[in-house]
Amino acid sequence: MQQLDFRARPPSALPVPFFALGLAGLLAVPIAAVIDPAVALHDHPAAAGVLFLHLITLGFLAPVMLGAYYQLIPVVLHAPMPCPALGRWILAALAAGVLVFLAGWGVRFPDAIAAGGTLAGLALYAFIAQVGAALARLRRPTLPAAGFAGALLALAAVSLLGPLMALGFVTRALLVAHVSAALAGWLLLTILGATYQLVPFFAATPPAIGPRFGYGPIALVAAGTLLLAFGAGPVGGAAALLGVVLWAADMARLAGHGRQARREPVARYTALAIALLVLAAAGAEADLLGAAIPVRVLALAGLLSAPALLVMAQLQKILPFLAALEARGVKTEQLFSRQTADRVLPVAALGFLGLAAASTLASQIGVRAAAIVAAAAVVAYLAIQGRALRRFLSSAK
């Protein structure tokens, strides 16, 4: 795999606010389920279900993934991000657009839905242009670059179709294309592109150990996304599922040969998140074949539980590492208590997995109880990481 170039990284002041916004969105998800458990018990054509789904995707996933790109593109691909100051404007426009969009859904105000969706879409297109310009400078393709390029194309489709539907142009074909591009394209291809570099780095995998399936998983997921978008559901789902399974096998190979302790919490919860993504992809394919699995169950397992655990676990490594690169004579263990934060991960797993299980069982009491546990875990996580970051910022002055 290509060596990481941390000298090319942007200041932490660029990606960290995206992470913070995403974690705030993650906290809002279980709070919404505590206030109204019905949002986790109804499928998504209902207004409350659409609001809940977009709270997960736009409120939590989008900011975290955008923030990750600002770090990954220069560090992983050695491609400088043009006009990095644009990121602050993108963050502001995305946050405002998402808030207006969600508020519009909450009060059933179509003009606010259209305005918020359009503003968020414009912010995402500015991000696509910025990252696309960085990718255009690459001299040779790599696995992460292929994943990121495919993900950007999918995001471009999402950012076009979402505002179109927010403006009232709603058809089943557009809805299917929007959902498949968002989930199979943007989400999965971003995760695949990033983990092919991050997992071997944090696991300290020897350079001689590489992925067994090469570009196969990325190509299969990309092909599956196109097939899904054009209505070939079972075939596209099968292609994407096979890609996810091969990717999981590659991750097991890379992590299994790593020199880092395999029993540390980050490794365990990363493995759990990968298993949940495979399970959700298998459930989605079963639904396409007629099993009638509720959409909310797949969303809570594959869109919320797996990414939440993956993000919380990886930030346990990433935030102290960023601090170590910028701290001036300060040991990061003085700022970050990894042992304290690691205690939050099992509580978060219990809460988010419990939320998916309670939704499967259609238990209103279960949804509320699991959501309370998940919210408490995210609050504790935010408090721990926030305190550490404040100490780091004060030490760096």
Contacts of 281 (CB under 8 A, 6+ apart): 237, 240, 241, 244, 245, 302
In angstroms, the Cα distances linking 123 to 62, 163, 284, 312 are 11, 12, 30, 25
177 near 156, Cβ under 8 Å?
no
Taking only the tens place, the pLDDT of each residue in 36-62 is 888 888 776 666 677 888 889 999 999
DSSP 334: G
* CB-count exposure of residue 245 (10 Å: 0-12, 13-18, 19+): middle
Looking from the CA of 39 toward its CB, the CA atoms found within 13 Å total 23
Taking only the tens place, the pLDDT of each residue in 346-395 is 999 999 999 999 999 989 999 999 999 999 999 999 888 877 777 666 65
68 near 2, Cβ under 8 Å?
no
Query: In angstroms, how far is the first alpha carbon of the chain from the final one?
Result: 35
**Residue 62, helix vs strand vs coil:** helix
Whether 331 has a pLDDT exceeding 80, the answer reads no
Taking only the tens place, the pLDDT of each residue in 190-222 is 999 888 888 887 777 888 888 899 899 999 999
Q: How far apart are CA 22 and CA 95, in angstroms?
A: 10
Whether 334 has a pLDDT exceeding 60, the answer reads no
- Residue 356: what pLDDT? 92
The overall average pLDDT reported for the chain is 85
Taking only the tens place, the pLDDT of each residue in 289-310 is 988 888 788 888 888 999 999 8
Contacts of 220 (CB under 8 A, 6+ apart): 239, 240, 242, 243, 246
151 near 185, Cβ under 8 Å?
yes
What backbone phi and psi angles, to 5 degrees, belong to 263?
-95, 0
Confidence band for 315, pLDDT divided at 50, 70 and 90: confident
170 near 226, Cβ under 8 Å?
no
- Residue 332: what pLDDT? 56
Q: Which of 113, 12, 119, 114 is nearest to 62 (CA)?
A: 119
In this predicted model, which residue has the larger pLDDT, 15 or 250? 250
Mean pLDDT of 78-90: 87
Which two three-digit tokens encode residue 285?
């394919």
Mean pLDDT of 286-291: 88
**Residue 336, helix vs strand vs coil:** coil
Greatest mean pLDDT among 83-87, 314-318, 331-335, 390-394: 83-87
Residue reference for tokens 């923030």: 67
Confidence band for 327, pLDDT divided at 50, 70 and 90: low
**Residue 117, helix vs strand vs coil:** helix
Confidence band for 176, pLDDT divided at 50, 70 and 90: confident
Q: Find the length of the chain.
A: 397
Numbers of helices and strands, H then E, in the chain: 16, 0
Contacts of 13 (CB under 8 A, 6+ apart): none
Q: How far apart are CA 64 and CA 79, in angstroms?
A: 20
DSSP 387: H
- Residue 36: what pLDDT? 87
Which two three-digit tokens encode residue 354?
């419990």
**Residue 247, helix vs strand vs coil:** helix
The model's pTM:
0.89
115 near 104, Cβ under 8 Å?
yes
Q: How far apart are CA 126 and CA 156, in angstroms?
A: 10
In this predicted model, which residue has the larger pLDDT, 342 or 58? 58
Which two three-digit tokens encode residue 5?
């170039």
The pLDDT > 70 percentage for the chain reads 87
198 near 143, Cβ under 8 Å?
no
**Got the DSSP string for 198-237?**
HHHHHHT--TT---SSTTHHHHHHHHHHHHHHTT-HHHHH
What backbone phi and psi angles, to 5 degrees, belong to 161?
-70, -35
Q: How far apart are CA 105 and CA 247, in angstroms?
A: 36
Mean pLDDT of 339-347: 80
Confidence band for 266, pLDDT divided at 50, 70 and 90: confident
Taking only the tens place, the pLDDT of each residue in 141-166 is 788 888 899 999 999 999 888 888 87
Which two three-digit tokens encode residue 307?
């990414």
